[in-house]
Amino acid sequence: MSELIRLILGFKLRALLTEPTSNTALQAFRALFVGVIAFVADAGVLWLVSLTGLHYLVCAALGFILGVAVNYALSSRFIFFVRSPMGKSAEIAVFVVVSLVGLGLTEVFLWFFTETAGLHFLISKCIATLLVFAWNFTARKLILYRKG
């Protein structure tokens, strides 16, 4: 955590955002940025497709597809610099499987907060995203992008 604070306070943007690191706190910080960008893509599709009248859970699954693609591209470029020894195709497959578990959790939270708590589905999406972030980051770091 001290490296993250040092980089933030020193305005070392390049080291903070793009230089390879195995520091978990710094990776989590970067994952928040990547997550926000992927969330905008995901929620944007959710909102746009919902305008067609499709059920919000179907729209959420469609938004998920774009969100995962954006997240994979940015995660492998800015967060996890360790390449998986399993090869690119298997790496993408595992990334998608971890993301599918995240989608399942998101759909459950989205349904719960919308149907049970009575929140608008976009607010439910924000809450669900925050709750699922920890799963996605931890699983990707421990399963897919761990060192040797």
In this predicted model, what pLDDT tens digit does every residue of 46-70 receive, in sequence order?
Answer: 999 999 999 988 998 899 889 989 9
Amino acid at 137: F
Q: Using a cut of 0.75, tell me whether the model's pTM lies above it.
A: yes
**Would you mind telling me the total number of residues written for the chain in this entry?**
148
Q: 123 CB contacts (<8 Å, ≥6 apart)?
A: 113
Which 3-state string (H, E, C) describes 96-137?
HHHHHHHHHHHHHHHHHHHHHCCCCHHHHHHHHHHHHHHHHH
pLDDT 10s digits, 96-148: 899 899 989 988 999 999 999 999 999 998 999 899 988 988 998 888 777 65
- The C-alpha angle with vertex 33 and arms to 27 and 39, in degrees rounded to 5, equals 125
